[in-house]
Amino acid sequence: MKILVPVKRVPDWQIKLKLLPDGKDIQTDGIKWILNTFDEIAVEEAIRLKEKGVCSEIVLVSVGPADVRARLEYALAMGADSAILVKHDGPVDSDLASRVIAEVFKKGDYGMILLGKQAIDSDANQTAQLVAGRLNLPQACFASKVLVESGSAVVTREVDGGLETIKIPIPCVVSTDLRLNEPRYAALPNLMKAKKKPFEELSLEALGVSADLKVRVKSLSVPTGRKAGRKVANVQELIAALQGEAKIL
């Protein structure tokens, strides 16, 4: 079974975010980019399914500008087999990403689309569901365990109140939660070898996907932070503050 792993590059969560003066976007000049944390978990899970002999080939896909290639090469160095970069310099919303992923899926003989449940920049948690809906495929979102057996995926999902295990037919869409696995690091020699792995560049036109957006960011702002309160010396003082000032208890 071939697995398609859509990935997104995002600003490193450790950087201090700055907004552009017009507030339309964050400052991205010269910042450090990483593979979205949840997508890295998806790449790792696909590699583990390949190591178990369940998966035959791992194909990555991303949509974005030319320098997204570096992040795809990182995922190739982890162990993916080939990558497709759909080059597009303009803004991408989840709907556009889902239409790209759906078209790429239709061109290959894939058994599963495996991707992160959310990107840590937009924090939306919706692309996997949009892809599954567009392709009318069964979905298993927020996965903390993935097994593949005779034409089905058995997926344990993190839901409100506990864990739910579902069995869905293949082909299907699976989105990864935080504790599915701990991704491996790509070793330096593999990073060199990754540059020789098959890498295809496509355009939106070639895929027959329009660049229209359904969601437009009007402006960004930084929320007013909470002020630090005060230190209390002991439990008695804390209780007095909660009762007297905060009127709790």
- Positions in 220-249 near another protein (CB under 8 A): 220-223, 225-226, 228-232, 234-236, 238-239, 241-242, 246, 248-249
Going by C-alpha positions, the residue among 74, 61, 89 that lies closest to residue 188 is: 74
Cis link prior to 171 (omega < 30° from 0)? yes
- 78-97: which residues touch another protein (CB under 8 A)? 94-95
Cβ of residue 58: shortest distance to another protein, in angstroms?
A: 23
Contacts of 146 (CB under 8 A, 6+ apart): 45, 49, 114, 140, 153, 154, 155, 156, 174, 180
- 171-200: which residues touch another protein (CB under 8 A)? 172, 177-179
Cβ of residue 191: shortest distance to another protein, in angstroms?
A: 27
Out of 1, 166, 191, 211, the residue judged to bind another protein by CB under 8 A: 166
The answer to whether 31 contacts another protein (rule: CB under 8 A) is no
Cβ of residue 48: shortest distance to another protein, in angstroms?
A: 19
Max alpha carbon distance in the chain (Å)? Answer: 69
In angstroms, rounded to a whole number, what is the distance separating the alpha carbons of residues 155 and 32? 34
The answer to whether 217 contacts another protein (rule: CB under 8 A) is yes
- Contact of 78 with 194, CB cutoff 8 Å: no
- Contact of 76 with 83, CB cutoff 8 Å: yes
Out of 53, 161, 189, 208, the residue judged to bind another protein by CB under 8 A: 161
Residue closer to another protein by CB (options 76, 115) is 115
Out of 74, 105, 110, 142, the residue judged to bind another protein by CB under 8 A: 142
Q: Would you give the DSSP letter of residue 195?
A: T
- Contact of 44 with 181, CB cutoff 8 Å: yes
Cβ of residue 51: shortest distance to another protein, in angstroms?
A: 23
The answer to whether 122 contacts another protein (rule: CB under 8 A) is yes
Residue closer to another protein by CB (options 77, 92) is 92
In angstroms, rounded to a whole number, what is the distance separating the alpha carbons of residues 240 and 233? 11
Q: Count the neighbouring beta carbons within 10 Å of the beta carbon of residue 73.
A: 22
Cβ of residue 130: shortest distance to another protein, in angstroms?
A: 5
Cβ of residue 144: shortest distance to another protein, in angstroms?
A: 7
Phi first, then psi: give them for residue 132, nearest 5 degrees. -60, -40
Out of 2, 133, 184, 193, the residue judged to bind another protein by CB under 8 A: 133
The answer to whether 32 contacts another protein (rule: CB under 8 A) is no
